[in-house]
Amino acid sequence: MNFPRIPLGTTGIKIPPLGIGTWAWGDRMFWGYGRGYGDADIRDAFEYCLQAGINFFDTAEVYGLGQSEKMIGRLLKADGRPAVLATKYFPFPFRLTKGRVQRALRGSLQRLQAGTVDLYQIHQPISLIPDKALMQALAGSVRAGRIRAAGVSNYNLERTRQCAAFLKAEGLPLASNQVSFSLLNRDPEKTGLLALCRELGVSVIAYSPLGMGMLSGRYTPESPPRDFRGNRYSKEYLSRLPPLLELMREIGRAHGGRSTVQVALNWVIAKGAIPIPGVKNKRQAEDVIAALEWRLTGEETAQLDSASDAVGRR
C-alpha cells in the first residue's frame, strides 16, 4: 500500500493521513492491558502498520505510566524501519519551571530509545507554567535538535491562537492541536477550532475518532464496555446510537462492505483532520488502515452530520 503523505502543519514534516494511537499499549489502569490483548497482539499490529506504510504513532509519557513509550522504543529498535513519533509532556502541578519540560523530554527520549521526537505536544492546557514559557521551552528543544516540531493538545481557540503567536516569535510554527473529534464529539467543528486551525496552518489531530470504540457498533446498553469506558458512556447514551450506527452500516455496505470504524475515520478525514485511532491487535490495525482505501461522498458526510446531531451530547 502506498498512501500519499500529508504535511504536518507548515513544519515541512510529512506524515500519513492517519496515525495510530497507543494509549492502550501497556496500559493496565484504564485499558486492562494483559487481559484480552498483550505483547504479541501489539507487536503484530505494530509490524502490520509499518508494512502498510502507516508509521505515525502517537503516545504520551503518562500512557501506561511510561509503558507505551517503552513498548514503541523496543518495537522500533527490533524492527529498524523509520517512524514518525509524537509524544506528550504532561503539565503535572508540581512542574513549575520550564526546565521541567526539558527533563520530561529526556525521559521520553530514553523510553523511546530515540535521539529525536518528531512532534512534542503539551498534553493539557491546565499548566502552572504559562503558555509563553512552555512554547519557549519547546522552541529551545527544536533548536537543540531534540524535537522536530511543537504541538499542543486540548487547547481552545484563544489559547491555540496565542501559542501559535508565541512560537512565531521564536521563528517556529505551531504544528498541531490534538483534540477529541469524532461523530460523537463535534465540538472542534462547532466552536470554530477546525476553521481557526485551517486559517493558521495548524494540523488538527483527532483523538478518540472511534468514540473510544463506541462507533464500532460492538457496545450496546445490554453489553456496555467493561472497563473505564462504561462510566463515560452511559447505557442511556448507548441507547441513542443505533440510528447513527445503522446509517454507518448502510454507507459501509454501499462501499463494498466497509466497517462502521472505517466510516467513522473517513468522516474525520472528510472534515480535514488526521485521525489517530487506538488499536489493540492486528485485526483492528488492518481495519483502520483500510479506511484509507476509499472516501465518503459529500452527501454521505452530510447525512452522517445529521445523524450525529440527532444523538445529542453525552
Ligand X SMILES: NC(=O)c1ccc[n+]([C@@H]2O[C@H](COP(=O)([O-])OP(=O)(O)OC[C@H]3O[C@@H](n4cnc5c(N)ncnc54)[C@H](OP(=O)(O)O)[C@@H]3O)[C@@H](O)[C@H]2O)c1
Please, which residue, 168 or 226, has the CB nearer to ligand X?
226
> Do residues 115 and 84 touch, judged by C-beta distance below 8 A?
no
Closest CA to 112 of 73, 142, 78: 73
What CA–CA distance (Å, rounded) separates 219 from 238? 7
Q: Is residue 56 a contact point for ligand X (CB under 6 A)?
A: no
φ, ψ for residue 15, nearest 5 deg? -135, 160
| H or E stretch covering 77 | helix 67-79
Q: Is residue 52 a contact point for ligand X (CB under 6 A)?
A: no
> Is 219 in the active site?
no
Q: Is residue 279 a contact point for ligand X (CB under 6 A)?
A: yes
Please, which residue, 23 or 233, has the CB nearer to ligand X?
23
> Do residues 127 and 133 touch, judged by C-beta distance below 8 A?
no
Q: Please name the amino acid found at residue 295.
A: R
Count the residues in the chain. 314
Which residue reads 466497517 in cell numbers?
259
Select from 113, 116, 216, 301 the one that contacts ligand X (CB under 6 A): 216
Among residues 37, 63, 207, 219, which one is catalytic? 63
Q: Is residue 287 a contact point for ligand X (CB under 6 A)?
A: yes
Select from 9, 18, 23, 46 the one that contacts ligand X (CB under 6 A): 23
Q: Is residue 207 a contact point for ligand X (CB under 6 A)?
A: yes
Q: By rule CB under 6 A, what count of residues binds ligand X?
A: 27
Residues that bind ligand X (CB under 6 A): 21-24, 58, 123, 153-154, 178, 207-213, 216, 218, 261, 276-280, 284, 287-288
Catalytic residues: 63
